[in-house]
Structure 1
């Protein structure tokens, strides 16, 4: 088996695709009018999670998933953050809510996921064509499944700003007298 590309080592395209023709052919109906479940993963863990997703896909555990895509280190102007990447699990048709929710739950059964918002979202291909939050889209998903929340990770700029504010604080000496004569 050929070695898989590591998303964080790719800089010239915005995403890489992973598919198996035998698996893809099982689920190609509905993909044209489909969409994808999205997991937003911190770049420090992206290569590891991507490899795990590809392996689970190859084991045919991701029932209903036609193929996978993953963000790379390409500087995409349509995204707000370059600290995380998106792993996309393509399935459809988007109009079949019950089926899509079932596929999403199955993905979560095999791939543990938590995020700042507390949701894994499903975005239709039609919504993707309209743009992202950064390009002005207010509603950027069709369905969502609740997942455990995680605290926001601060960017290096945010940490530096906080440290700068902290270092500017003035200190003063406060003396506390322990006057035992007043205690009765």
Structure 2
């Protein structure tokens, strides 16, 4: 197995990776602006959409367009026995502080705009604090 660094800030396709559970996007210059990251938003996609949506999220993150998002990760094709569905994947976008509900909701609405995440997706966006 390759080191964890291989899966950070890479251009791998999430659904094509089967030996590691996550790909990560973490730019230190962006992350240091947002030191409290105990909250997160989760966006669920069918695996047929996951690679494209991860590329979109990475592009927007790298351009600084995902306000208050410190870092992100995406599930891969790695087998997870506890997963509720093998047809879906998830992008996790970390922000915070989780106790600041007003701002967490603001970040969530901004994510909806920036990532074109719609209610037509099979699962809704979930905020976890």
Q: TM-score range by the shorter chain?
A: 0.7 to 0.9
> How many residues are aligned here?
119
C-alpha distance in 1, partners of 2:94/2:108?
Answer: 10
Distance of 1:53 and 1:93 partners within structure 2? 21
The match for 2:127 is 122
- Alignment equivalent of 1:86, drawn from 90, 99, 102: 90
Structure 1, unaligned runs of 5 or more: 125-184
Structure 2 alignment gaps of length 5 or more: 1-8
Q: What is aligned with 1:65?
A: 69
Please state whether the residue corresponding to 1:26 is helix, strand or coil: coil
What CA distance in whole angstroms lies between the structure 2 residues aligned with 1:74 and 1:43?
A: 12
In structure 2, the residue corresponding to 1:11 is in which secondary structure? coil
Structure 2 counterpart of 1:4, from 11, 29, 41: 11
Residue 78 of structure 1 and its aligned partner are, at CA, apart by: 2.3
SS of structure 2 residue aligned to 1:110: helix
Partner of 1:107: 111
Q: Which residue of 2 aligns with 1:51?
A: 55
The runs of at least 4 aligned residues of structure 1 exceeding 3 Å deviation read none
Cα deviation for residue 110 of structure 1 reads 0.9
- Whether contact under 8 Å (2:15, 2:77) holds in the other structure is yes
Cα RMSD for the two superposed structures? 1.4
Task: State the TM-score, normalizing by the size of structure 1.
Answer: 0.61
| In structure 2, distance between residues paired with 1:60 and 1:3 | 17
SS at match of 2:41: strand
Change (3 A) 1:98 1:51: same
TM-score between the two structures when normalised by the length of structure 2: 0.86
**In the alignment, which residue of structure 2 is the partner of 1:17?**
24
Please give the secondary structure, in 1, of the residue aligned with 2:51: helix
1:3 Cα deviation from its structure 2 partner: 5.3
2:46 aligns to what? 42
